Every structure is written in C-alpha cells, then in structure tokens.
Amino acid sequence: MSGGGFLESVNQNFRKAASYTNLPSGLLAQIEACNSVYQMRFPVKIGNEYEVIEAYRVQHSHHRLPTKGGIRYSMSVNQEEVMALASLMSYKCAIVDVPFGGAKGGVKIDPRNYTTRQLQKITRRYTTELIRKNFIGPGIDVPAPDYGTGGREMAWILDTYLTFKNGELDGAGCVTGKPVKQNGIKGRTEATGRGVFYGVREACEHAEDMKALGLTPGIAGKTMIVQGLGNVGAHTAMISQDEGGVIIVGVAEYEGSIYNKDGIDIHALLKHRKETGSILDFPGAKNLKDRNSVLESPCDILIPAALENQITMSNVKKIKAKIIGEAANGPVTADAHQVLVDKGVMVIPDMYINAGGVTVSYFEWLKNLSHMRFGRMEKRFNQQTYGNLIDLIERTTGKSVNKREKAFIGRGADEIDLVRSGLEETMVTAYDDIRTTMKRSKRIPDLRSAAFVSAIKKISSDYISLGIFP
C-alpha cells in the first residue's frame, strides 16, 4: 500500500472516531488537516557524483508548540507517508499529555547504501534545509529518531543546529533522542519498547478483558511474536522477556522469520544475529517460509515493530494472535482493523502503545531547557532522609535492617529511575483513560476509536480555549 493509503487509513480512523463526538465539522476538519508541508530536494556529493535527495518535514498541528516527531530514513518515504505519521504524532502527544503538536520528517534513502560519512553529509544538509525554512528549534519543531535513524544522527543534527545558532541558550533542545553524553537522557533509547511493555502489561491486568479473549490475567507466561528487531522491537522483546516473564515464540526480520513454541531467548538471538548477520538458523527454532509467515503463527500477543501496512486484507484472516500491540506506526490498515475487531481481537493502537518514545523525548527536552540532569538536586537529600527514617525505625523497634535492605530502601532516585517512573505513570494513566472512554461510552467499539476520541477532545479543547473556534 502506498503512503496515500496509509494517510487515508489514519484519516478514516479519525473520521470514524470523530462521529462519536459532537464537535462542529469545521473544528474537526482543522484537527484532521496537516498545517505545513515542506518538501525539499537537495544535492549531496556521493563519491564522484552528485545525488539529488528527496526529503520532507510535515507539521501537522500547531495547537501546542513546539511540534515534535521523528525523522525516518527509508526508500518508502513520500509526502503522504510523512503526513500520516505527523498526524499520528499530534494524536499521540495528546493521548499521553505531552504538550506538543505533531510533526514528522522523512528522507528518501536506504541508509544501508551509504557509508557513515555519507550519511552524516546527508543528515547535516537536511538539517541546514530545516534551519533555512525555520522548521527546527527548541520552541519551533523538535525532531527525534524514527525508522532508520538513531542517536548518532540526532547528535549530527544538534551539531549542525548549534553551528548556525551559536550561543542559543536552549539550543540543545532542538532535537531529542541524542546520545546521553550529547545532552541526551538516560532511558531514551529503550523508551518506546519499554512503553510498549508497560502498555501491554496494563492491558493484560484487566481480568474482564482477558476473559473475553479467553486468556488469564497478567502478562507473565503469555507468548509473543515480534516483527522487526530494531530499536523498538528489540527493546520490547527484551523487557517483556526479562521483566514481564513473557515467552518470545517468534521473530521476523528483513532476512526471514523463525518460530519455536517453547521459546526463543531474545538475548541469545540478538547475539546470534550479530555474529551471523541473520536471525535464521537459530538453534532450536524453525526457519519459516518467508519474513511474513511468522505473523500468522500462534501466539497470545503480536508486536509488529517494523513498518506500516503489515496486517492488511490479504493476511488478516490468518492472524491468530489475541492481542496486537501496534509498536510500529500504522501496521494494521483500517479495513483489516475492522476485521480484527469483529473477530474479538484486542488491538492496542499505535498512537498510544508506541508513545513511550515521545514521552521520554519530552523529558529530555525539559532536561535541556532546565540545563540540569534529573535527580541532581534531590538525590542526596532523599538518601539522607530515608537513612534517618531507617535509623529511627531501628531505634524505636530495637530491630536492625540488614545492609542490603538498607542500601535498597535508602537509595535516592537517579535519572534513569525517574525517567522509567515517569514513563510507567504516563503509560498506565493513558491506558486507563482510553479504556474508561471506551467502557463509559457504550458506542465506541474499540480501543483505537477510544484513543482518537480522547485525543480529539484534548486538541479541540485547546483550539476552543485559544479562541480559534468559538
């Protein structure tokens, strides 16, 4: 399916959810529309030749500023795809109460075809184009990593920005997902995957919902298939296995897919892929026919964490999972989603379940603006207070707390503890908000529509209080 199909899919879902609100059509049309689309072409010298690179930055909504959204490097990039992803960002930020408008960037390249130096040249030139048109800045528009990009690219963007904006006090907040040593924040790399884990775990907590799926409550012991072992997929799989007791039974990557009903140790698989360049031929697991086959294998939870349009009308009837956590953006098309809902499958929507990345990006941006690491002021003070409390308990009870327990209880929170705590709170609160919206309404049939309704209400309330709509 083309990017146009993806955009239509997002807007179709939007309109379906909009019908459950009683907001005026003009206001709904303003929320749905992409406000600014910047399409660019720029030359970059690759070897002895010049290549003309096609790229985009789309700002979907300015109801809150700055706008925020990742940058994707992929050959599938086109204007509609970036518009669809920017739209999802606005709804996503609203759902998790991150005070940004939505945006997205895309560069139409396959990063595997370029050397690190060449990628750096492309990234720096793309950033320069954004600066030229005032499409980047800590109070304007703040990019982050997405498919095909990571901390390395974000550091290049930061350096290019600061070269042009020398002395800008809050300049470090022009981009998030930076390496920790380059004004990044601990926990950003794992954030999207960790958020997926918290979200799925929360969904599994509700006994009534699990009963309807024929499952027992709790995430522990549930089987999971993951498509895409990149940033999002690998962290989702590792955290679900290590902290949730989930059994990973299937994995898909570019080169193919594997299945083992007894479980695949995700750390051993990542090591195997590093050593051999492939997930295939992993001891104990079966190589399947192609990379898409594993999507149709039996499991409780399916995590598509690669790209959009993976579950479509052509394979939806063969999907056996009871829960689908849309870690990627737009992995299920609107028509396939309807089939899943009719079948009673729980689809936890992308705009909620993968919002952990933007949530921790928000924390990183706040850190950049405050010019200080989280926990620096209070860590020692808290440690001292907890220590005094333990002493008091020991004195009054006459019993002593052992050294290990003392160290555990008396510890002040580090940046990573605070980031994880803030992320968990965000994901749990947002899930309950979506679920309650669905349960209370009686008309809203699925979590995706409920998530949209929640986002539409928050964005419309901004437009109304800004005086843009009466």
Residues recognised as catalytic: 104
By the rule CB under 6 A, 307 interacts with ligand NAD: yes
CB of 80 to ligand NAD, least distance (A): 15
- In the DSSP assignment, the letter for residue 297 is S
Q: Which of 106, 228, 250, 325 binds ligand NAD (CB under 6 A)?
A: 228
Residues 43 to 82 in contact with ligand NAD, rule: CB under 6 A: 70
In the numeric block, which tokens belong to residue 164? 């042009």
Give me the amino acid identity at 56: Y
Candidate segments 140-148, 153-161, 276-284, 427-435, binder of ligand NAD by CB under 6 A: 140-148
Name the residue number minimizing CB distance to ligand NAD: 230
Q: Is 146 in the site for ligand NAD (CB under 6 A)?
A: yes
Minimal distance, residue 287 CB to ligand NAD, in Å: 14
Q: Which stretch binds ligand NAD (CB under 6 A): 114-122, 246-254, 337-345, 437-445?
A: 246-254
| Closest separation in Å from C-beta 92 to ligand NAD | 8
- Phi/psi for 428 (5° steps) reads -70, -45
Token digits for 78?
A: 């086109």
State phi, psi for 311 to the nearest 5 degrees: -110, 110
Q: Which range binds ligand NAD by CB under 6 A, 196-204, 280-288, 325-333, 370-378?
A: 325-333
Q: Determine phi and psi for 76, rounding to 5 degrees.
A: -85, -5
CB 55 within 8 A of CB 126: yes
Rounded to a whole number of angstroms, the distance between the first and last alpha carbons of the chain is 39
Length of the chain: 470
Span of 261-269, 275-283, 326-334, 406-414 interacting with ligand NAD by CB under 6 A: 326-334
Pairing of strands 49-59, 36-46: antiparallel
**Residue 87 interacting with ligand NAD (CB under 6 A):** no
185 binds ligand NAD (CB under 6 A): no
Q: CB-based burial of residue 369 (10 Å sphere; 0-12 exposed, 13-18 middle, 19+ buried)?
A: middle
Could you say which of 61, 236, 309, 354 contacts ligand NAD (CB under 6 A)?
Answer: 354
Cβ proximity to ligand NAD: between 72 and 379 the closer is 72
The least CB distance from residue 75 to ligand NAD, in Å, is 11
Residue 60 has φ and ψ, to the nearest 5°, of -80, -45
Size of site (CB under 6 A) for ligand NAD: 25
Tokens for 356, please give them. 């952990």
Nearer to ligand NAD, 147 or 161 (CB): 147
Q: H or E element: which one contains 387?
A: helix 379-397
Q: Does residue number 359 form part of the binding site for ligand NAD (CB under 6 A)? A: no
Inter-residue contact 50 to 122 (CB < 8 Å): no
Minimum Å distance from CB 127 to ligand NAD? 18
Rounded to whole angstroms, how far apart are CA atoms 252 and 289? 11
List residues binding ligand NAD (CB under 6 A).
70, 145-148, 192, 227-233, 252-254, 291, 305-307, 327-329, 354, 357
